Chains A and B, each alone.
Chain A
Amino acid sequence: MNRTPFVIFGVFLTIAFSLSGLVLIPNWQFQEHQPVVTAPDGSQYPVPYFGMALQGRDVYVDQGCLYCHTQQVRAKGYGGDIRRNWGNRRTVARDYMYEYPILLGTMRTGPDLANIGARQPSRDWHYLHLYNPQITSAGSVMPRFQYLFRTIKAGELAPSGAIALPPAFLAEGTHIVPTARGEQLVEYLRAQNRTFPLPEAKQ
């Protein structure tokens, strides 16, 4: 009595079944998604990342920001996301239709970033925070990303692009300038804005 085909076929069936149920059906379900067009100027949401923000996504991925930060807002009444002002509505599938790869994240050692661009629109804040998180968020356990900045020895006058560090964090006679990757990452973070009202996300 040989059970081999029976066992192999059975286990194959189980996984093919869940693959089609969990991956293929939702994927097919979302294919009908279209951007929302706001008349009259015809601006659309969502829009794919472009320019420096698009390059910044690669920096976000290679620095592994996802391991401490999520990019999703849970519905009102489910967790404290909206009451913490991490968003004005829950995020839905349409918010992510152009995300590749998708960076939802599963851990909130740091706060959610789905709308960090709306909460912190200022470049300066992001540069200070990335250079040394203690400047903006004392007690944070986020690492310093000082390798995304260059130190420039300069005279009295700050070079253009130098970040406005408090004197306590700056060595005498030097200025700190973000590298290209630093600038890209900040543009990506500033592009994190999922506040556009969507018909399917009332809350």
Chain B
Amino acid sequence: MMSLPEGPNESKLQQISRIRIDDSSRVPVSLWFASSVFWLLMGSVAALISSVKMHNPDFLGNIEWLTFGRIRPVHLDIVFFGWSSMAAVGCLLWLQARLCHVRLPWPLLLSGLAMVWNVGVCVGVMAVLAGHGSSIEYLEFPAYCAPFFAIPALGVLAANVKMYVTKESQHTYVSQWYLLAATVWLPILYVTAMGCTYFGLVQGVSQAITNWWFGHNALGLWVTPIAVATAYYLIPKVTGKPVHSYHLSLLGFWSLAIFYNWAGTHHLTGGPLPAWTITVGVVGSMMMFIPVITVAINHHMTMRGVFHMLKTSPTLRFTVFGSVMYTVASFQGSLEALRSHQEITHFTQYTIGHAHLGLYGFFSMIMFGAMYYIFPRITNNEWSSARLIKVHFWGSSIGVLAYGIGLCWAGWWQGVMMNDPAIPFLDTVAYIRPYLIMRSVSGTGMTIAHIAFAISVWRILSRHHFVMSGPTLFTTTRPAWREFVNEQEKREQAELEAQS
């Protein structure tokens, strides 16, 4: 038997139990994650095609299924359903199992649900490319795609609740609230929005409100809580410092739950709706300052004194970047909801810049960080190359900053020009064109980063570069612990047999 690190017996047992919990999520979580990385690449391709088409409309010009009005929603849907949601589910299953101190239930079922979800994205993408999209933002996939997402969402909810009610941990950690809430919200949101939209339950402008009630909440109540939960776990866990204020984190959770719901109608400011619906949206958006500030304070104070770890931990780098961008993008979003601000930026590229600072700068970066932490632990393998990770980090972070800041700047002035009737409309188009080209360049940087990431993921899954004796904390301890885990499992098996 290999020699084990010295330590009290209790700590050995805790390590063993942690490894066994991580092991239990190996197949399903790897599957959800690997699928999400595949969709990340597909989403990047769709993004680049639509981005280039915006400044060079003749690029792939006369191909109907690749026309801008189809490839652009395909980009959004792949990124939302394929990349973001699948990454979020992987993260949530692993994290909830760990926090509940129970093994992941129903691994086969959860793996099957990942495949169902993948089929849904495939079918939906092909439908939109073939011209069967609905032109309802975030809900472009036709109604027959709904079961492919609704059923897995319910399955994930069931697994999540099962873990929570059978939990062996004594305390509820703040992340668990977010995770549980997100899985309750997603099926309600999706089923209600699809039902209202496709079965004519709402008429006229109420359709638009339903659309943005879903579109905004899908980001705010589904992917955001999961990313916040992940950051709440990973930042303390990687740095070894408990969360600064646990009270604040609870306040943050419930204020998010109450206020984010109402913010969606700011997407319709100035539209043909009763003024009170917009006012509600603006108030909801303003109140979002509360949860955002609590998270910002908490994460910053937790990081205080350990910023040097950003140099040595890839997970921390991505997660802290994402966490900072959460504050930035949320502040921007709250201000953006104000009528005076919307008068200028609504209908411009500013919104697109903001969306990417949020969904990419915040959410995706935290998911990248989480995958850098989780993959080695569920595959018992080490990342093959620090250089690839650095290419990924710098490509993504510089890319999204250039993208977001550039488009917000351009969008602001685009809006100012658009509100001045003395300026011909085509001048606004000519003005933003250089920024649209810059967007394609920064998008290329992000795509290169994604390719580097995909290579890393491919290698860790296919067990290339299996580093047994590296000097990192992970590689020195894990393989040694394996023997111990196997022994413990054998012992339990024997006990079971003896009983029966």
Interface, chain A (partner B; CB < 8 A): 2-4, 7-8, 10-12, 14-19, 21-23, 26-27, 29-31, 33, 60-68, 70, 72, 74-75, 78-80, 83-85, 90-93, 95-104, 106-109, 111, 133, 137-147
A79 / chain B contacts, CB cutoff of 8 Å: 270, 343, 346, 418-419
- Establish whether residues B280 and A22, one from each chain, have CB atoms under 8 Å apart when the complex forms: yes
With known contacts A64-B69, A72-B272, A137–B426 Cβ distance under 8 A? yes
Measured CA separation A100–B134 after assembly (Å)? 11
Q: Can you name 6 extra interface pairs (CB under 8 A) apart from A67-B72, A104-B268?
A: A22-B277, A23-B192, A84-B421, A84-B425, A93-B204, A93-B205
Q: Do the beta carbons of A108 and B205 come within 8 Å of each other?
A: no
Are A12 and B188 interface neighbours, CB within 8 A? yes
Per the bound structure, the CA–CA distance linking A24 and B207 in Å amounts to 10
* Cβ of B196 under 8 Å from chain A: yes
B270 engages A75 (CB within 8 Å): yes
Q: Is B242 an interface residue (CB 8 A)?
A: no
Contact A144 B57 (CB under 8 A): yes
User: Taking the complex as formed, is B243 at the interface, i.e. its CB lies under 8 A from any CB of chain A?
Assistant: no
Complex alpha-carbon distance, A108 and B210, angstroms? 21
B264 at the interface (CB under 8 A from A): yes
**Chain A residues positioned under 8 Å from B217 (CB to CB):** 15, 18
Q: Does B262 contact A (CB under 8 A)?
A: yes
Cβ of B203 within 8 Å of any chain A Cβ, yes or no, is: yes
- B contacts, CB < 8 Å to A: 53-55, 57-58, 61-62, 64, 67-70, 72-73, 131-137, 161, 164-165, 172, 177, 180-181, 184-185, 188-189, 192, 196-197, 200, 202-211, 213, 217, 221, 254, 257-258, 261-262, 264-265, 267-268, 270-274, 277, 280, 339, 343, 346-348, 351-352, 418-421, 425-426, 429-430, 433, 436
- CA gap between A34 and B271 in the complex, in Å: 20
B interface, over-half SS: helix
CB distance from B268 to the nearest CB of A (A): 7
- Which residue in chain A gives the minimum CB-CB distance to B201? A27
Q: Is the CB of B280 within 8 A of A3?
A: no
A8 touches B161 (CB 8 A): yes
Q: With a 10 A CB-CB cut-off, give which of A27, A90, A100 has the most chain B CB atoms.
A: A27
Decide: A101 and B209 in contact? CB cutoff 8 A. Answer: no
Complex-state Cα separation, A143 to B49, whole angstroms: 13
How far, in angstroms, from A80 to B268 measured CA to CA in the complex?
16
Assess the B180–A78 pair: CB atoms within 8 A: no
Contact indicator A62/B205 (Cβ below 8 Å): no
Assuming the A-B contacts A17-B261, A22-B277, A26-B274, are A11 and B184 also in contact, with contact meaning beta carbons closer than 8 angstroms in the complex?
yes
Contact A12 B184 (CB under 8 A): yes
Closest chain A residue to B257, Cβ basis: A14
Q: Is B205's CB under 8 angstroms from A4's CB?
A: no
**Contact indicator A99/B177 (Cβ below 8 Å):** no
Name the CB-closest residue of A to B170.
A1
A35 to chain B, nearest CB (A): 12
Q: Which residues of A contact B207 (CB under 8 A)?
A: 99-102
Do residues A96 and B272 form an inter-chain contact, with CB atoms below 8 A? yes
Q: Which of B53, B64, B202 contacts A147 (CB 8 A)?
A: B64
